[in-house]
Amino acid sequence: MSERLQPGDPAPAFTLPDADGNEVSLSDHKGRKVIVYFYPAALTPGCTKQACDFTDNLELLAGAGYDVIGISPDKPEKLAKFRDTESLKVTLLADPDKKVLDAYGAYGEKKNYGKTYMGVIRSTIVVDEEGKVERALYNVRATGHVAKIIKDLGI
């Protein structure tokens, strides 16, 4: 399991395919703040709620200088279905080999109903204009999380 990121750490660089198979890199967003959030699976209730919350607040976040990227281990085809089914406007990226999830400390040991297993740790990393971690939030809740981020960032 990789180390969790701390404020001030350089955000690990990545290039991943989006829902349409186009390559998107963190460096494409240099000069803007980026909210990178990691979620377990497209088209599941919690992840849908979270993605819809980000979509509903995208204008507000973009107006404050933030881009939003959601990353899951799903394949691009599933992300396209998720985007189209839920009318999502956030950028969704596919990380099926979990390299980026791992680099960001968003993949590791989880416990559920007394069982321990490896999985995606719902996390949100706020990256500043210089590519440094501004905030690193792990084990976040899907519901109410976006409102909390907006409040914490003073938007």
SS3 5: coil
Q: Catalytic residue positions?
A: 47
pLDDT exceeds cutoff 60 at 98: yes
Res. 63 pLDDT band, cuts 50 70 90 = very high
CB atoms within 10 A of CB 112: 8
CB atoms within 10 A of CB 70: 25
Q: What is the pLDDT of residues 102-114, one digit of tens each?
A: 999 999 988 888 8
Its sign, for the CA torsion 146, 147, 150, 152, is: negative
Mean pLDDT, all residues of the chain: 94
Which pTM was predicted?
Answer: 0.95
